[in-house]
C-alpha cells in the first residue's frame, strides 16, 4: 500500500500567521532539442504557448491574475521583457503588469519565489510565474569595434566623416561575438567546470554514464506511462502539433562509452551523452493564496513552503548549489532528509549530480565547507528524479525550475507522499532549494 | 629521442605547501628523496625532498633518482613510469645552489653537472615510456624543446605559464587544478594529476597515444629546412649573440656560454654538446659573477624574512596620503594583497590620476592574461579614493607620500594623528628627510617610521625601512610585515639624512654632474655607467628620479654632510628645475621624452647650462675607466661609511639595498662584495689618486682603510 506511512517530523508545514501559498497548476511546452521543430520561433512564442496552455488547462479568466513573472537566461534583445510580450500575445489582459527575472538556471525558480513573495506580502493573490529559453536562436553580436564604428556612423554628419569611418573598418571588426555558456567571472565554460568538479569528487566516467542512462531510461518510462502530464500540446506555426519531449534517448553503456570528452580534452569524463543538451522550451505555473484558489473553485496541487537561495565560489564550486541548499532548506522547514518523499534535483551534468551526492555523503566536506558536525546525507535513489531529469527531458535554462516544482507536485499526488524537495545549481555559483507539501487529496 | 611526455598542472598563485600524506610501501628502504610504487604496470616515481619546501637537484636526489630508475627499468612488471612530485606546486625547482657552492673548484661542478646530464640522458633514452607529471615550478632539464623557443627560455630563465609551455611544445598536455572535493584542492589535484598521468603512460604503452605528434606544419618543416643551412644557423647564432651582448654588455658570461653550448651541440653532435655544457657550467659556477649572484640570492632570501617577529596587529586597512606616482604605486602593490587601501589626495585631479594609475597597473595584468578582468574588478573594490580623512579611524597604518617639505610633513602628521586610532602606525615615504625630524611633530613617536619605496613602486623590489631610536619594535615588525605582503625585499636601516640608499646615490650623482660639467655628453655618461653594469645610466637615472628631487636631495644632504657631498654644482640642477627640466615626468631633463618615441635625444637646451658651469677636466683622472671609478668609488665609500656609522645592519643588507634599490651592478653583487672582489687596497689606491685632484670627496672612510690594510678582512665570509 502506501509506502509513506512512516511518521514525519511534522504533520504539516503550515504556520500560524503565515499565508498558505499553493501551486494550482503547472504546465510546459514539450522540451525540444534546439534547432528542431521550434527553430523558427522566437522566445516569446514559446512562453506564449505555455501561458495559453495554462489558461486552457485551468480555465482561468484572462484578467484574473494580478501579476506575471517570467525567468529567462539568454535574452532576445527585441523582447528583453519577454514576460510582457508573451502575456500580451497569450491574450492576458493588458492591465496585468509583467516582469522578467534572470538568475541563470534557476531563473524560473526565482520567478516562482517572487510570486510567493508578492502573495505573502499581501500585494497579490494570484500570480503566473514561468520560464522560457530558446537556444535555436541566440543573439550574436558584431564585435565591440564594429559596434563602436556603427554607432559613430549614426552620429557622423558629413559624407567625409562617414566615408572615413567606413574606411576604418578592418577584417578584425567583422568577427562576431558569440554568447558562451561560460562564467563571466572566470571565463570557464560550465562543462569544463563540471568536469573538474567531477574529478575533484572522484566521479568516474562509468558512474556518470550510468546516471545519464538512468535518467533517460526513467524519462522514457514516464513518458510512455503518460506521467508527464505537465506537457501541453503546441501547434507550431507552419509545422505539426508537438506534444512530446524529443531529447529522451535511452542508449547503452557501450554506446555512451564510445564518446570522447567534450570539455576537458582528452582525459575528461564529461561527454555530450552525460550532459544536459541545449533545449528550447517554456513553462508556466499558477500560484495563488490558498484562500483565493479555494474561492475561485480550484483544487490546489501542492503548498509551496520554505525556500532558500545559496551562493558560493563560482570557480571551484560552481555547481554545488544542491549540496549547500538542501540542508539549509530542510533546517528552515524543520524537516530531516528522511521526511522527504520526493526529490527532484536539476541534472545539469551527470557528473555534477554525482559530485553533489558525494559531497553530501562526505563528513570531511560537511565539516570543512558547510560548517556542519557531519555529512548532510544523500537522498535515497528510489525517491530521486524518478520521471527523468534535465539530462533526458531537456534543460531550457530559464524554464527548468517550474518543471521541477510541478513534477514534485505531480509525483506527490501519484506516489502519495507528503513532502517534496527541489534543488538546483546555477551559473554564478548559485543554487536554490524549496520544500513542497502535498495538498490533502 | 623523446621518451618523456610532460603533463603540467597550472597552479598559479598557490604557494601553500601541504606535507605529503602518502605512505610509501618502499619506505623501508633508506631512500628519503625518491621513491616509487607500482600501480598496475605503471611505476609511479615520487620526488620529495623532506628537508626543504622545494625539490632541488641535490646530490642525494640525483643518486636516488638513478637508483630508482634502474630498479624501474629492471622490473619486468613495469611497462611505463610516471615521474611526479609529492610537493604541491613544485616539481623540481632547479639545481641546488648550496650543492654548487659546496664545490671547491670548477672540475667538481663539471663532474656534478655530468652526473646530472647522464641521468637526464638515461631518462630521455628510457626503453620504457616516462610521463613527467609536473605541478608547479619545474626546471626544463630533460624536456625536449624546440630550438628557437629554447634559446629564449634558456637565456633569460623566464618563468613560463603552463598554457604558454603547452603552446611552446614544452609539455604535451595540461591538467587543470581542481577545487575542493573529498580532499583539499592541493592534495586532490596531485592525486588527479597522478591518475591522469598513469592513464597516459598506459595509453602510450598500448599505442593509443602517439609518443610524439609530428605535426609537420608548413612552418615547422620550413624551419627544419632552413636550419639545415650552415649559413642560416650562423646568422641565428650571430643574431642571438648580438642580442645578448646588447642586453648584458658582456658583463654576464653565462648567456654567451649557453649559445656556445647549443652551437657545439648542433654543429658537432650531442656528445660534444653535453661535454661543452658541463665544462662551461663548471667554469661558470666558480666565476666571481656566479658568487655575486648567489650572494644576492641568499641576501634576497634573508631580506624576505621578518627578523622583528610577528606584529601584534595585522594591517587590514592601509591609508596612503598623496596619490602621486609614489602614493598610487604603493596603493598598487597593496590593494591586490587583500588589504583595504585608502588613497587620499587633496585635489580631485590628483586623486583621479592616482586611481587611474592603479587601474592601469591591474588592467595591464589583465591584458597580459595574468589576471581576469573579474579579478581586476574585485581587487579594485578594495581601493577607496577620497579627499578627506573620513574613515581614517579604521586605518591600521598611514603611509604619507606627500611633497618633500618638512613643514608639510609636520602638518600632515598632526592632521592624521587627530583622526586615527591610537594603534595606527604613521609611516613616511620620504627619500631623504630624517625620520626623527618628521617624528618631532608627533605625539606618538614610537609609532613613526620611515618606509622608503622606490619608483616605479610596482617594479622596484626594494623597500628601505628607517627606524629612529624611538620607533618601537612592534612598529618596525608591522612595517616589515606590510612590506613583505607587498612583495618587497626589505632592508631596515638607521635614521639619518638620506638613510642608506639616498646617501649612497647622492655623491655618485654629484660626481655625475661634475662629469657633465667637465664636458661629457649625457649619452656618454650613460654608456660609461651601463658599461660598468648599472642597468640604468646615471643621466637617465637622474631623469627617472626627477631632477627636482635630485636637486632637493643634493642640497639637503650637502647641508648635512658638507663638502664630502660636493663635486658637481647644485646650481646646474637648480637651473634645470627653474627651466622646467624636471626629468621624465616633465618631458624634459637630460633628455627629451616624447610619448610613443623609444629613442630619446639629449635635451639640446642643457648645453647652455653646462656651458655656463663648465669645468676643465683633469686628464690624469678622466679616462673612461677613471670616470667610472670616480662615480662608483664615491658610491661604495659612502656605503661602507654607512656600515661604519651603524646606519646599516650589515654588509648583506647594504648589498641588497644597493642592487635592488639603486641598480648597483648585480654582476658585482653590491658595493661590499665589490670591495671584497676587487680588493679594498686597490680601491683605496684609486681613490687616493682622485683625492689628490678633487679633495675630500674621495677620502676613503676608516672602515675601508682598515680593509685595505688587512687583506684578510672581508665583508662577506
pLDDT in tens, B378-405: 999 999 999 999 999 999 999 999 988 8
The pLDDT tens digits of the residues spanning B481-513 come to 999 999 999 999 999 999 999 999 999 999 999
Cell numbers standing for residue B678: 676587487
**Closest partner CB to B374 (pick from A185, A200, A267):** A185
Contact B179 A369 (CB under 8 A): no
Buried b (16+ CB within 10 A) or exposed e, B148-170: ebbbebbbeeeebebeebbebbb
Active-site residue list of B? 464
Residue B239 in this model has a pLDDT that exceeds 80: no
Mutate to test the interface with A, among B9, B181, B185, B190 (most CBs of A within 10 A): B181
Kindly report the nearest CA distance between residue A362 and chain B, in angstroms: 7
Q: Is the pLDDT reported for residue A136 higher than 50?
A: yes
**Which band of pLDDT confidence, cut at 50, 70 and 90, is reported for residue A338?**
very high
The mean-pLDDT minimum among A41-50, A112-121, A350-359, B52-61 falls in B52-61
Residues with Cβ < 8 Å from B254, sequence gap 6 or more? B284, B289
Please give the DSSP secondary-structure letter assigned to residue B460.
-
Residues whose CB is less than 8 angstroms from the CB of residue A173 and which lie 6 or more positions away in sequence, other chains included: A142, A143, A145, A146, A149
Residues of A in contact with B194 (CB under 8 A): none
Q: What is the mean pLDDT of residues A343-372?
A: 97
Distance CA B385, CA B373 (A): 20
More confident of the two residues B35 and A404: A404
Q: Look at B176 and A192 and tell me if their CB atoms are within 8 Å.
A: yes
Name the grid cell of B172.
Answer: 604535451
Q: Rounded to a whole number, what is the distance in Å from the CA of A197 to chain B's nearest CA? A: 7
Tell me: pLDDT of B552 over 50. yes
Q: Best interface-test mutation with A: which of B172, B182, B203 has the largest number of A CBs within 10 A? A: B182
Cβ of residue B371 closer than 8 Å to a chain A Cβ: no
* Helix, strand, coil % over all residues of chain B, rounded to 5: 55, 10, 35
Banded model confidence at residue B61, pLDDT cuts 50, 70, 90: confident
Residue B343 β-bridge partners: B320, B385
- Tell me, rounded to whole angstroms, the distance of Cα B394 from its chain centroid: 34
Cβ neighbours of B319 (radius 10 Å): 27
pLDDT digits (tens, 9 = 90+) for B398-433: 999 998 889 999 999 999 999 999 999 999 998 888
| CB of B175 less than 8 A from some CB of A | yes
Mind listing the pLDDT tens digit for each residue in B557-613? Answer: 999 999 999 888 889 999 999 999 998 888 889 999 888 777 788 998 888 899 899
Residues of B in Cβ contact (< 8 Å) with A368: 180
Closest CA to A396 of A81, A89, A45, A106: A106
Backbone angles phi, psi at B540, to 5 degrees: -65, -40
Segment B102-151, tens digit of pLDDT: 777 878 878 877 877 777 777 777 788 888 787 765 554 433 322 223 33
Catalytic one of A395, A402, A410, A432: A395
Query: Among all residues of chain A, which has the CA nearest to that of B203?
Result: A267
pLDDT digits (tens, 9 = 90+) for B697-709: 999 999 999 999 9
Residue B248 has pLDDT above 90, yes or no: no
pLDDT-derived band of residue B157, with 50, 70 and 90 as boundaries? very low
Distance from the A74 Cα atom to the nearest Cα atom in chain B, whole angstroms: 20
SS3 of residue B477 by DSSP: helix
- Structure confidence at residue B279 (pLDDT): 79
Q: Which residue of B has its CA nearest to A358?
A: B182
What is the bridge-based pairing of β-strands B340-344 and B317-321? parallel
The mean-pLDDT minimum among A19-33, A254-268, B167-181 falls in: B167-181
Residues on chain B touching A185 (C-beta within 8 angstroms): 372, 374
Q: What is the mean pLDDT of residues A86-93?
A: 96
CA-closest candidate to residue A82, choices A104, A51, A61, A112: A51
Q: For a pLDDT cut of 70, what percent of chain B falls above it?
A: 86
pLDDT band at B226 (very low <50, low <70, confident <90, very high): low
Mean pLDDT throughout A105-132?
98
CB within 8 Å: B179 and A317:
yes
> Under a CB-based contact definition with an 8 Å cutoff, are residues A342 and A409 in contact?
no
Q: Rounded to whole angstroms, what are the CA distances from B304 to B17, B298, B309, B461, B482?
A: 18, 10, 13, 11, 12
pLDDT in tens, B308-356: 999 999 999 999 999 999 999 999 999 999 999 999 999 999 999 999 9
The whole-model pTM stands at 0.81
Residues of A in Cβ contact (< 8 Å) with B179: 196-197, 200, 313, 315-317
Distance CA B534, CA B540 (A): 11
State the average pLDDT for chain B: 83
User: What are residue B6's DSSP bridge partners?
Assistant: B132
Interface check B562 vs A, CB under 8 A? no
**And the C-alpha cell for B226?**
632552413
Position A7 scores a pLDDT of 78
* Closest approach of A359 to chain B, Cα-based (Å): 7
Q: Which three cell numbers stand for residue B13?
A: 598563485
Q: What is the pLDDT of residue B485?
A: 96
> ∠ CA(B410), CA(B411), CA(B415), 5° rounding?
115
> Any residues with CB less than 8 A from the CB of B163 and at least 6 apart, and which?
B10, B174
Long-range contacts of B12-20 (CB under 8 A, 24+ apart): B12/B161, B12/B162, B14/B88, B14/B89, B14/B136, B14/B177, B14/B186, B15/B89, B16/B88, B16/B89, B16/B186, B17/B53, B17/B87, B17/B88, B17/B89, B18/B88, B18/B184, B18/B186, B18/B187, B20/B48, B20/B86, B20/B87
CB–CB contact B181 A184 (8 Å)? no
Residues of A in contact with B166 (CB under 8 A): none
ipTM: 0.87
- Using CA atoms of B431, B437, B443, B447 in order, give the dihedral in degrees to the nearest 10: 40
Q: Which of A117-126, B159-168, B287-296 has the lowest mean pLDDT?
A: B159-168
Q: Using the predicted structure, report yes or no on whether residue A27 has a pLDDT greater than 70.
A: yes
% of chain B residues with pLDDT over 90: 46
pLDDT at B142: 33
Q: Can you tell me the mean pLDDT for B219-229?
A: 62
CA distance B368 to chain A (A): 15
B372 touches chain A (CB under 8 A): yes
- B-chain residues near A362 (CB < 8 A): 182
Copy the grid coordinates of residue B70: 634502474
Looking at the predicted structure, is the pLDDT value of residue B640 above 90? yes
> Computed over its alpha carbons, how large is the radius of gyration of chain B?
28
Choose among A186, A199, A266: nearest Cβ to B178: A199
Compute the half-sphere exposure of residue A203: CA atoms within 13 Å on the CB side of its CA: 29
Contacts of A61 (CB under 8 A, 6+ apart): none
Query: What whole-number distance in Å separates Cα of residue B549 and Cα of residue B507?
Result: 14
Give the nearest chain B residue to A192 (CA atoms). B176
What residues in A contact B199, CB-CB < 8 Å? 267
Written in H, E and C, the secondary structure of B45-111 is: EEECCCCCCCCEECHHHHHHHHHHHHHHHHCCCCCEEEEEECCCCEEECEECHHHHHHCCCHHHHHH
Position B273 scores a pLDDT of 76
Phi, psi of A320 (to 5 degrees): -95, 15
B188 touches chain A (CB under 8 A): yes
Q: Which residues on A lie below 8 Å from B183 (Cβ)? A: 364
Pick A407 or B62 by higher pLDDT. Answer: A407
B38, B412, B426, B432, B704 from B435: Cα distances, Å: 64, 14, 11, 9, 28
- Contacts with A320 from chain B: Cβ below 8 Å: none
What is the pairing mode between strands A279-289 and A126-133?
A: antiparallel
- β-bridge pairing A126-133 and A67-71: parallel
Q: What cell numbers appear for B461 in the block?
A: 623590489
Q: What is the pLDDT of residue B151?
A: 37
Candidate from A184, A202, A267 with C-beta closest to B181:
A202
Question: Does the active-site annotation cover A395?
Answer: yes
Tell me which residues of chain A have a C-beta less than 8 Å from any C-beta of chain B.
184-187, 192, 196-197, 199-202, 264, 266-267, 313, 315-317, 355, 358-359, 362, 364-365, 368-369
Amino acid at each position: 500500500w502506501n509506502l509513506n506511512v512512516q511518521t514525519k517530523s511534522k504533520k504539516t508545514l503550515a504556520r500560524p500567521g503565515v499565508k498558505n501559498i499553493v501551486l494550482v497548476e503547472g504546465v510546459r511546452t514539450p522540451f525540444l532539442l534546439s534547432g528542431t521543430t521550434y527553430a523558427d520561433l522566437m522566445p516569446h512564442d514559446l512562453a506564449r504557448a505555455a501561458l495559453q496552455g495554462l489558461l486552457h488547462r485551468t480555465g482561468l479568466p484572462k484578467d484574473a491574475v494580478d501579476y506575471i513573472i517570467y525567468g529567462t537566461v539568454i535574452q532576445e534583445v527585441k523582447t528583453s521583457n519577454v514576460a510582457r510580450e508573451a502575456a500580451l500575445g497569450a491574450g492576458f489582459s493588458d492591465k496585468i503588469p509583467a516582469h522578467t527575472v534572470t538568475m541563470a538556471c534557476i531563473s524560473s525558480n526565482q520567478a516562482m519565489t517572487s510570486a510567493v513573495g508578492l502573495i505573502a506580502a499581501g500585494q497579490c493573490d494570484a500570480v503566473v510565474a514561468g520560464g522560457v529559453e530558446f537556444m535555436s536562436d541566440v543573439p550574436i553580436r558584431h564585435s565591440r569595434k564594429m559596434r563602436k564604428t556603427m554607432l559613430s556612423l549614426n552620429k557622423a554628419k558629413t559624407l567625409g566623416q562617414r566615408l572615413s569611418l567606413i574606411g576604418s573598418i578592418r577584417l578584425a571588426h567583422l568577427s562576431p561575438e558569440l554568447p558562451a555558456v561560460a562564467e563571466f567571472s572566470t571565463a570557464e565554460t560550465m562543462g569544463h567546470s563540471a568536469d573538474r568538479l567531477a574529478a575533484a569528487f572522484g566521479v568516474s566516467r562509468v558512474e556518470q554514464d550510468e546516471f545519464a542512462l538512468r535518467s533517460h531510461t526513467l524519462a522514457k518510462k514516464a513518458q510512455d506511462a503518460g506521467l508527464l502530464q505537465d506537457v501541453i500540446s503546441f501547434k507550431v506555426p507552419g509545422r505539426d502539433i508537438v506534444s512530446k519531449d524529443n531529447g529522451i534517448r535511452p542508449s547503452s553503456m557501450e554506446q555512451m562509452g564510445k564518446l570522447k570528452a567534450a570539455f576537458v580534452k582528452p582525459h575528461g569524463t564529461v561527454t555530450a551523452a552525460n550532459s544536459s543538451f541545449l533545449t528550447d522550451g517554456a513553462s508556466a505555473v499558477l500560484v495563488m493564496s490558498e484562500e483565493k484558489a479555494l474561492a475561485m473553485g480550484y483544487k490546489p496541487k501542492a503548498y509551496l513552503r520554505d525556500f532558500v537561495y545559496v551562493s558560493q565560489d563560482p570557480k571551484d564550486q560552481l555547481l554545488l548549489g544542491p549540496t549547500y541548499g538542501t540542508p539549509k532548506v530542510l533546517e528552515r522547514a524543520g524537516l530531516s532528509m528522511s521526511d522527504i518523499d520526493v526529490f527532484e534535483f536539476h541534472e545539469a551534468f551527470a557528473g555534477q549530480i554525482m559530485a553533489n551526492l558525494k559531497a553530501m555523503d562526505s563528513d570531511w566536506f560537511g565539516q570543512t565547507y558547510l560548517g556542519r558536525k557531519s555529512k548532510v546525507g544523500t537522498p535515497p535513489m528510489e525517491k530521486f528524479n524518478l520521471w527523468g531529469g534535465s539530462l533526458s527531458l531537456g534543460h531550457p535554462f530559464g524554464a527548468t525550475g517550474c518543471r521541477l516544482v510541478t513534477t514534485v507536485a505531480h509525483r506527490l499526488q501519484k506516489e502519495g507522499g507528503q513532502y517534496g524537495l527541489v534543488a538546483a545549481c546555477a551559473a554564478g555559483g548559485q543554487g536554490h532549494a524549496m520544500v513542497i507539501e502535498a495538498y490533502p487529496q | 629521442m623523446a621518451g618523456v611526455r610532460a603533463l603540467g598542472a597550472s597552479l598559479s598563485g598557490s604557494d601553500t605547501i601541504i606535507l605529503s600524506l602518502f605512505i610509501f610501501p618502499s619506505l623501508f628502504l633508506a631512500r628519503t628523496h625518491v621513491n616509487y610504487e607500482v600501480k598496475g604496470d605503471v611505476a609511479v616515481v615520487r620526488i620529495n625532498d623532506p628537508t626543504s619546501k622545494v625539490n632541488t637537484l641535490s646530490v642525494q636526489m640525483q643518486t636516488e633518482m638513478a637508483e630508482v630508475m634502474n630498479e624501474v627499468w629492471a622490473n619486468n612488471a613495469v611497462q611505463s613510469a610516471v615521474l611526479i612530485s609529492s610537493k604541491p606546486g613544485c616539481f623540481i625547482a632547479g639545481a641546488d645552489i648550496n650543492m654548487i657552492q659546496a664545490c671547491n673548484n670548477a672540475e667538481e661542478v663539471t663532474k656534478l653537472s655530468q652526473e646530472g646530464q647522464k641521468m637526464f640522458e638515461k631518462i630521455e633514452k628510457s626503453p620504457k615510456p616516462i610521463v613527467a607529471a609536473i605541478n608547479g615550478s619545474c626546471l626544463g632539464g630533460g624536456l625536449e624543446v624546440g630550438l628557437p623557443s629554447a634559446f629564449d627560455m634558456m637565456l633569460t630563465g623566464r618563468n613560463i605559464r603552463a598554457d604558454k609551455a603547452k603552446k611552446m611544445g614544452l609539455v604535451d598536455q595540461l591538467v587543470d587544478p581542481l577545487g575542493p572535493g573529498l580532499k583539499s584542492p592541493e592534495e586532490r589535484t596531485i592525486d588527479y594529476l597522478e591518475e591522469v598521468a598513469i592513464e597516459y603512460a598506459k595509453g602510450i604503452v598500448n599505442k593509443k597515444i602517439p609518443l610524439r605528434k609530428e605535426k609537420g606544419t608548413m612552418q615547422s618543416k620550413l624551419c627544419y629546412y632552413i636550419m639545415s643551412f650552415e649559413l642560416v644557423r650562423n646568422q641565428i647564432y650571430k643574431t642571438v649573440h648580438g642580442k645578448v651582448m646588447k642586453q648584458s654588455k658582456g658583463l654576464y658570461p653565462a648567456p654567451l656560454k649557453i649559445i656556445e653550448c647549443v652551437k657545439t651541440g648542433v654543429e658537432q653532435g650531442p656528445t660534444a654538446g653535453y661535454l661543452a655544457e658541463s665544462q662551461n657550467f663548471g667554469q661558470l659556477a666558480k666565476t666571481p659573477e656566479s658568487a655575486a649572484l648567489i650572494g644576492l640570492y641568499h641576501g634576497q632570501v634573508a631580506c624576505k624574512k621578518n627578523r622583528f617577529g610577528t606584529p601584534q596587529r595585522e594591517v587590514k586597512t592601509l591609508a596612503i596620503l598623496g596619490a602621486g606616482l609614489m602614493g598610487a604605486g604603493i596603493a598598487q602593490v597593496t590593494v591586490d594583497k587583500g588589504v583595504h587601501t585608502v588613497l587620499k589626495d587633496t585635489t580631485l585631479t590628483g586623486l583621479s590620476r592616482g586611481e587611474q594609475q592603479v587601474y592601469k597597473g591591474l588592467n595591464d595584468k589583465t591584458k597580459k592574461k595574468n589576471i581576469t578582468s573579474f579579478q581586476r574588478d574585485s581587487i579594485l573594490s578594495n581601493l577607496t579614493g577620497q579627499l578627506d580623512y573620513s574613515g581614517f579611524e579604521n586605518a591600521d597604518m598611514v603611509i604619507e607620500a606627500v611633497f618633500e617639505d618638512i613643514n608639510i610633513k609636520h602638518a600632515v602628521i598632526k592632521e592624521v594623528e587627530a583622526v586615527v586610532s591610537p594603534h595606527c602606525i604613521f609611516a613616511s615615504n620620504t627619500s631623504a628627510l630624517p625620520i626623527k625630524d618628521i617624528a618631532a611633530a608627533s605625539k606618538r613617536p614610537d609609532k613613526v617610521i620611515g618606509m622608503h619605496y622606490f619608483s616605479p613602486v610596482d617594479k622596484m623590489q626594494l623597500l628601505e625601512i628607517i627606524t629612529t631610536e624611538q620607533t618601537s619594535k612592534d612598529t618596525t615588525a608591522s612595517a616589515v610585515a606590510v612590506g613583505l605582503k607587498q612583495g618587497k625585499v626589505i632592508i631596515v636601516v638607521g635614521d639619518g639624512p638620506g638613510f642608506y640608499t639616498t646617501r649612497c646615490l647622492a655623491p655618485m650623482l654629484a660626481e655625475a654632474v661634475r662629469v657633465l660639467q667637465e664636458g661629457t655628453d649625457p649619452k656618454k655618461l650613460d654608456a660609461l655607467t651601463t658599461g660598468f653594469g648599472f642597468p640604468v645610466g646615471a643621466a637617465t637615472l637622474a631623469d627617472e628620479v626627477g631632477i627636482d628631487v635630485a636637486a632637493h636631495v643634493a642640497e639637503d644632504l650637502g647641508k648635512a654632510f658638507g663638502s664630502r657631498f660636493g663635486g658637481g654644482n647644485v646650481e646646474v640642477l637648480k637651473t634645470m628645475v627653474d627651466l622646467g627640466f624636471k626629468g621624465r615626468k616633465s618631458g624634459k631633463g637630460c633628455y627629451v621624452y616624447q610619448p610613443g618615441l623609444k629613442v630619446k635625444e639629449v635635451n639640446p637646451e642643457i648645453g647652455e647650462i653646462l656651458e655656463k658651469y663648465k669645468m676643465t677636466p683633469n686628464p690624469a683622472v678622466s679616462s673612461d675607466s677613471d670616470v667610472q671609478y670616480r662615480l662608483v668609488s664615491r658610491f661604495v665609500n659612502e656605503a661602507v661609511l654607512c656600515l661604519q656609522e651603524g646606519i646599516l645592519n650589515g654588509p648583506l643588507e647594504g648589498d641588497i639595498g644597493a642592487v635592488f634599490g639603486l641598480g648597483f651592478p648585480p654582476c658585482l653583487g653590491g658595493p661590499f662584495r665589490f670591495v671584497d672582489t676587487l680588493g679594498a687596497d686597490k680601491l683605496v689606491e684609486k681613490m687616493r689618486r682622485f683625492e689628490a685632484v678633487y679633495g675630500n670627496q674621495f677620502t676613503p672612510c676608516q672602515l675601508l682603510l682598515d680593509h685595505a690594510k688587512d687583506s684578510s678582512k672581508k665583508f662577506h665570509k
